[in-house]
Structure 1
Amino acid sequence: MGSVGVQIVCVALGVLGLIGAIVCCAVPRWKVSSFVGSNIVTAQSTQEGLWTSCAVQSTGQQQCKNFDSLLVLPSDLQAARALTIICCLLCCLSVLILFCGADFTTCIENEDAKPKISLVAGVGMLLAGLLLIIAVSWSAHNIVQDFNNPLIPPGQKKEIGACIFIGWGAGALLLLGGGLLCCFSRPGSGSSGGTAKYYGNNAGANKNYV
């Protein structure tokens, strides 16, 4: 069973990863305007996220608009929505499960079940981190591909926004926390059970001998 210190670190990593996933899901900074070629000085820049598209004026005024229809959105944006939401739910559930199975809590009295519960939480954090990394990496690949496409005018090109980098960082934290839990929360080898069995066999042998 992992030490209390490792479990506390994993809880902190899970909470930080959850915060990063929520930021990626809510903040419209997945795609930002690209200032290349003749498009260097402009009075307006655009920012796109999973749910809204915002126009930012040079004066600081910002106007946001929700995407009109889900069916007209590109496949990477639809997948990113689903994967990010599943990541947030799975990460939140994993952190709650870890609290229940941690050594520093008394939610569960059975000490033999705690390693298994912590292991389940670690697998959940690994899956959450993997889903988030897949979502942001898919979007980043499409952004780079469109940026290098010569058929797209320079004024319509987009660059990778801050949420992509936050998603990579949050996914890495979740993978690290889940990996630590899977390594340090393995069930015991059952040495006490083996000792009891050994004594029981000896007792039976002595009884037969008598």
Structure 2
Amino acid sequence: MVQGKCELMALCLGIIGLIGAVAVTGLPMWKVTAFIGENIIVMETRWEGLWMTCFRQANIHMQCKVYDSLLFLPPDLQAARGLTCCALALSGVGLLVSLVGLRCTLCLRDQPRAKSLIAMAAGVMQILASVCVITPVSWTAHTIIRDFYNPLLIDAQRRELGEALYIGWVTSAFLLASGIIFLCRRVDPKSGSFHARPPANKPILNRLQTFNSIRHQPLVQSNSLSIQQPSPSVFSYAITLGS
């Protein structure tokens, strides 16, 4: 009962992690304009994401522009695209696989060992998705902090950590917790481990047991017979009449 509740909690954490991964992948708030120095008087905010760049001025709505060329992007942004897409795929497939491994589902109910292994495989996928999320997020954060303290860059080139990075760290924690709970699924060694075919010598043992039972059966029957007195013969009657 407790394991079933833990699995449902892991499933909920995985769903939240998948939603967070979608948000991290789609939001353009990875890098935000740093309002320092001369940028304080500039009433314009710039966000840089994985797929687009957005601008917003004082009284104007946000305007976004998709990147024209993939090769123009820096290496950390290119790697972040691929890793976040892998995280979405792993998390989605992991959740679908975990539905088969849940104790409350009807799939493979008579094979608890197989369900446990499937749940553990789903946990591995969730952990890999967590790694695929936290790697580009931390890499981008490291690049932003390094460039922020770089004295060779002007204030207009400095960026700050965007909201998507914080969402990415929280998402990675949810996915990691979901994967660990699925991996803690206990595999019962007695269930499903004796489903193999019987050994070749098992029919021989059965025949030997049958032969022994048949051999000892007459002895049991002879012992169970009651001892009867012998009936008088004709010779004994003749002796009695002669006397």
The two structures share one fold, judged by TM-score above 0.5: yes
RMSD of aligned alpha carbons: 2.5
Tell whether the 8 Å contact from 1:116 to 1:186 is kept in structure 2 after alignment: no
Deviation at 1:6, TM superposition (A): 0.6
Please tell me whether the aligned partners of residues 46 and 56 of structure 1 are also in contact (alpha carbons under 8 angstroms): yes
CA contact (8 A) 1:143 1:159 kept: yes
> CA 1:193/1:107 → structure 2, altered by over 3 Å: closer, same or farther?
closer
User: Is 1:88 the counterpart of 2:88 in the alignment?
Assistant: yes
Once the 2 structures are TM-superposed, how far is the Cα of residue 142 of structure 1 from its aligned partner? 0.6
- 1:34-85 per-residue CA deviation (whole Å, 9 max, x = no partner) reads 0112321322110010000001111141111111100111110000000000
Q: Distance in 1 between matches of 2:210 and 2:83?
A: 63
- Shift of residue 107, structure 1, vs aligned partner: 2.8
* Number of residue pairs matched by the alignment: 205
Residue type at the aligned position of 2:28:
P
In 2, Cα distance between equivalents of 1:34 and 1:85 = 28
Q: Larger Cα Rg: Structure 1 or Structure 2?
A: 2
Q: TM-score, normalised by structure 1?
A: 0.89
Runs of 4+, deviation exceeding 6 Å: none
User: Which residue of the partner structure matches residue 134 of structure 2?
Assistant: 133
Identify unmatched segments of 5+ residues in structure 1.
Answer: none
What does residue range 1-210 of structure 1 map to in structure 2 within 5 Å? Answer: 3-109=3-109, 110-183=111-184, 185-190=185-190, 207=209, 210=212
Structure 1 equivalent of residue 228 of structure 2? none
SS of residue paired to 1:25? helix
Alpha-carbon deviation of 1:128?
A: 0.3
Amino acid across the alignment from 2:7: Q
C-alpha distance in 1 between matches for 2:122 and 2:129: 10
2:240 paired residue number: none
Deviation at 1:88, TM superposition (A): 0.5
Cα contact 2:113–2:191 (8 A) shared by 1: no
Match of 1:40, SS? helix
- In structure 2, relative to structure 1, the CA distance for the partners of 1:143 and 1:208 (3 Å cut) is farther
Unaligned 5+ runs, structure 2 = 213-243
Percent identity among equivalent residues?
38
The alpha-carbon deviation at position 153 of structure 1 amounts to: 0.6
Secondary structure in structure 1 of the residue aligned to 2:40: coil
Alpha-carbon contact 1:119-1:186 (below 8 Å) kept: no
Q: Note if contact 2:112-2:192 (Cα within 8 Å) is conserved in structure 1.
A: no
Structure-1 separation of matches of 2:115 and 2:65? 47
CA distance in 1: counterparts of 2:210 and 2:127, whole angstroms: 52
C-alpha spacing 1:163/1:36, structure 2 compared with 1 (3 Å): same
Matches of 1:191 and 1:118, distance apart in 2: 16
Counterpart of 1:56 in 2: which secondary structure? strand
2:11 alignment partner AA: V
CA distance in 2, matches of 1:102, 1:191: 16
